[in-house]
Amino acid sequence: MDVISVIRTKRDRGELSPEQIDWVIDEYTRGAVADEQMSALAMAILLNGMNRTEIARWTAAMIASGERMNFDALSRPTADKHSTGGVGDKITLPLAPLVAACGAAVPQLSGRGLGHTGGTLDKLESIPGWRALLSNAEMLDVLESTGAVICAAGDGLAPADKKLYALRDVTGTVEAIPLIASSIMSKKIAEGTGSLVLDVKVGSGAFMKNIEDARELASTMVGLGTDHGVKTVALLTDMATPLGLTAGNALEVRESVEVLAGGGPADVVELTIALAREMLTAAGLPDADPEKALRDGSAMDVWRRMIQAQGGDPDATLPVAREQHVINASSSGVLTKLDAYAVGVAAWRLGAGRARKEDQVQAGAGVELHAKPGDKVVAGQPLMTLHTDTPEKFAYAIEALDGGVLTAPEGTDFVPSPIVLDRIA
């Protein structure tokens, strides 16, 4: 076997054999296939695709590159959720304790943000003292004692994906459905959850800009999960508009706590409940009542215990950015567009996200929205507040919002998109 013939097979639109796939993933993980060779192969896959057989084998090879976790010893069924990433997507924060409060165990291995989408770990790290890095033993301990744990994936889980994802990030090869599906599912299957709900985002703020691509990604991932014995369901959800009223780390924690306290924006509550129902059903707990767990404070209790178990202080004051800048509506009417990508880039430029993995994020930076599509607005009323510790970034952030906010004359017929667009099982 040699790497050049593997690259040529895919370059010439051929099908990779199981032996070629196992060999190239193993050699790449061990450092014998060079980054530039894997980059060429990733680009050939992006351009020419892989069929379902190839994707299944590629995923299995990435799982086999590292360790597999096992939660069989836990006293509850496990349920996990994975979002393909969006703007203002803080759902994991209220969802994990909510589902735990309803009887499932939620092992949520999460990531950091890159580019315009936020990362769950960056959000939680704005809580003073909270630790993302846990050993496997600590993770199991928090999971057994509180019902939920949100932490960084250890280095031993799908190391082939860790290497390949970093490479794709700098070679323009992230947006390939076979590579995204195998990347996400190799980690989720290796993690050892019994059931998985995928939140596949669709729209300007998501990887998948249209519903057809999102359906294809969702059905590929559902097939991979099911083939590996993980009960897997996908919801396709709107990411043309940011979720909720905040995009930024501490701002999103504050909003998540509002949801756990029984309040919060309607779209965040609706999606949290929809995903909780799917997770509980997939975990064999279809009669659990997540709405009650939000109302009666039991989800909030799990949140507090989970944050404390990871060193955080749930009562600590969250960081606030040093400077604010308010953007007002320029005309009266109905807000018809608040573009998720534009808001995500603005939050990123304000300091909420990072351009390179080594960059630090600002805990208090981000965008706070005062209106959502469908709302009536009056010229001069605040539309959003920008937060940052580095006010020299305001102009650059405002530039990102250019064309991202539209208002139509009052009386215009406008129906906002539903949050849940489709379900694939």
Q: Which is nearer to ligand URA, 141 or 169 (CB)?
A: 169
Q: Which stretch binds ligand URA (CB under 6 A): 87-95, 136-144, 176-184, 376-384?
A: 176-184
CB nearer ligand URA, residue 84 or residue 256: 84
325 is catalytic: no
User: Quick check: is 187 catalytic?
Assistant: yes
In whole angstroms, the minimum distance from the beta carbon of 111 to ligand URA comes to 7
Listed in order, strand segments (DSSP E) in 189-332 are 195-202, 231-238, 246-247, 323-328
Site residues for ligand URA, window 142-171 (CB under 6 A)?
A: 165
How far from chain centre, in Å, is Cα 67? 23
**Residue in this structure with the two tokens 């960056």, named with its chain if needed:** 122
When the beta carbons of 134 and 177 are compared against ligand URA, the nearer one is 177
By the 8 A CB rule, do 332 and 411 touch?
Answer: no
**Set 82, 231, 387, 393: catalytic member:** 82
Q: Which of 93, 184, 230, 342 binds ligand URA (CB under 6 A)?
A: 184
Q: Which of 83, 183, 193, 195 binds ligand URA (CB under 6 A)?
A: 183
58 binds ligand URA (CB under 6 A): no
- 3-class SS at 287? coil
Distances (CA, A) of 366 to 128, 390, 400: 18, 11, 13
Residue with tokens 């509506």: 329
CB of 306 to ligand URA, least distance (A): 23
The reply to whether 254 belongs to the active site is: no
For residues 359 and 354, what is the distance between their CA atoms, to the nearest angstrom?
5
Query: How many residues are listed for the chain in this entry?
Result: 425
Closest CA to 397 of 317, 320, 321: 321
Helix (H, G, I), strand (E, B) or coil at 205: coil
Residues 84-113 that bind ligand URA (CB under 6 A): 84-85
Q: Which among 81, 123, 163, 168 is annotated as catalytic?
A: 168
Of residues 112, 187, 215, 349, which has the active-site annotation? 187
User: By C-alpha distance, which of 382, 386, 308, 295 is closest to 346?
Assistant: 386
Total residues contacting ligand URA by CB under 6 A comes to: 8
Instruction: Burial-class residue 202 by CB neighbours within 10 Å (0-12, 13-18, 19+).
Output: buried
Cβ 391 to ligand URA, closest distance in Å? 32
By annotation, the residues acting in catalysis are 82, 161, 168, 183, 187
Q: Give the footprint of ligand URA on this chain (CB under 6 A).
A: 84-85, 165, 174, 179-180, 183-184
